[in-house]
Amino acid sequence: MKRLTRAFSVIFLIAFGLMYLTYYLNQAEGYGGKNTLTVYNWGDYIDEELLEKFEEETGIKVIYQTFDSNEAMMTKIEQGGTTFDVAVPSEYAIAKMKEENLLLPIDHKKLPNLKHIDPHFLDLPFDPQNKYSIPYFWGTVGIVYNKKMLKDKEIKGWNDLWNPDFKNQILLADGAREVMGFSLNSLRYSLNDTNESHLQEAKAKLDKLTPNIKAIVGDEIKMLLVNEEAALGVVWSGDASEIMGENEDLEYVVPEEGSNLWFDNMVIPKTAKNVEGAHKFINFMLDPENAAKNTEYVGYSTPNAEALKLLSEEISQDVRFYPPPELTKKLEVYKNLGKKMLSHYNELFLEFKMHRK
């Protein structure tokens, strides 16, 4: 009996030691605590000099981690383990996270710089009164094309992608909503369509695009287009801005049939350990000078009206990234279609990718 008692005592001490070690390492890595702030964002989506500036101004150490999809981000936050103080999901993910009670309400009284945000980007359907999210960047999905490689052929819309002259010349971003969305738009359907016959029609049309597709890729799409490995690519507007700066033969167009208007907003996950620090960080990013610097680095469109005034006219007057009203009225925000329908979109997208093989 004494041996058994000693054995249990040893096991208890080891377990307690491991728990303490885990707690210590989490603190050391910034996974909680008032003197650290863990930010979860898309890759290459912030000017890291701003992180250093925030640390200098507040004394709060920033632990910066990245994700490559809204789904991956939501899964990690749902699972717990690592606690994030600030995350930057897209609008449909925010709607879903609200439904699943994964977000904390934001105290607007702690965000004096919120006044700089253009009212057009506030109080949108996915988050009325911005109770849970604050605008970070916005943009579109469109087509980048190489004028030299296409011998000055003009690209105006999604349907141009099916031109047989573009065999093995198109790169697609690896996203179900984006790819199914542009096929639906090419048929003049909503990119939030849930009509099964429309979805099957869109998938069948994608299958016909297969000969023109060189690859379906992730972040490497930027490098491939800059290096002229393909003549066309379906990309997000910020990526387009970045790569156009590296290759003067590249052009970007928001398709005439319509496209996606997306928003990435800052949120505070429910498991946040430094809520006060999270508010300080969000307010810091809303400062016009910081927002302008971030916009120049990232290349996406800023919702910050005062920051926009600080940018060069070359940026602020560029209709490709700040499109006129007659085009923006054709753009749609992704809706949260629910788990079942989103799974169906993913299934159709996977079938399309398998069809290519």
Residue 7 has pLDDT above 60, yes or no: no
Residue 42 has pLDDT above 90, yes or no: yes
The residue to which tokens 């993913």 are assigned: 346
Please report, as a single letter, which amino acid is at residue 170: I
Question: Is the pLDDT higher at 319 or at 160?
Answer: 160
User: What is the tally of structural domains in the chain?
Assistant: 2
Helix 196-209 and helix 339-356: axis angle, to 10°? 20
Say if residue 35 is in the same domain as residue 150.
no
Residue 32 Ramachandran class (φ > 0 left, ψ -120 to 50 alpha, else beta): left
Task: In whole angstroms, give the CA distance from residue 317 to residue 244.
Answer: 16
Are residues 47 and 298 in contact, defined by beta-carbon separation less than 8 angstroms?
yes
Say if residue 182 is in the same domain as residue 215.
yes
pLDDT for the residue 68: 85
pTM: 0.78
> Is 92 part of any known ligand binding site?
yes
Say if residue 165 is in the same domain as residue 77.
no
Residue 28 has pLDDT above 50, yes or no: no
Say if residue 126 is in the same domain as residue 77.
yes
H-type helices in the chain, by residue range? 2-28, 48-58, 70-79, 91-99, 176-186, 196-209, 221-226, 237-244, 275-286, 288-298, 305-310, 313-316, 325-328, 339-356
Say if residue 201 is in the same domain as residue 345.
yes
pLDDT tens profile 334-354 = 888 888 998 999 999 999 999
Say if residue 83 is in the same domain as residue 201.
no
Q: Is 277 helix (H, G, I), strand (E, B) or coil?
A: helix
pLDDT for the residue 30: 42
Say if residue 318 is in the same domain as residue 331.
no
Average pLDDT over residues 292-315: 95
Tell me the HSE value of 278 on the side-chain side, using a 13 A CA sphere.
30
CATH number at residue 144: 3.40.190.10
pLDDT for the residue 221: 95
Residue 32 has pLDDT above 90, yes or no: no
Please report, as a single letter, which amino acid is at residue 90: S
pLDDT for the residue 266: 98
Say if residue 238 is in the same domain as residue 279.
no
Q: Which of 21-30, 41-50, 246-255, 271-280 has the lowest mean pLDDT?
A: 21-30
Q: Mean of the per-residue pLDDT values for the chain?
A: 91
pLDDT for the residue 9: 57
pLDDT tens profile 81-98 = 789 999 999 999 999 999
Residue 326 has pLDDT above 90, yes or no: no
pLDDT for the residue 164: 96
The residue to which tokens 């994964």 are assigned: 102
Say if residue 331 is in the same domain as residue 225.
yes
Instruction: State the residue range of the domain holding 42.
Output: 2-137+264-322
Residue 225 has pLDDT above 90, yes or no: yes
Say if residue 308 is in the same domain as residue 173.
no
Share above pLDDT 70 across residues of the chain, in percent, rounded to a whole number: 90
pLDDT tens profile 278-297 = 999 999 999 999 999 999 99
Say if residue 159 is in the same domain as residue 180.
yes
Q: How far is CA 139 from CA 188, 316, 337, in A?
A: 21, 13, 21
Say if residue 186 is in the same domain as residue 249.
yes
Structure tokens at 303: 């919702």
pLDDT for the residue 325: 83
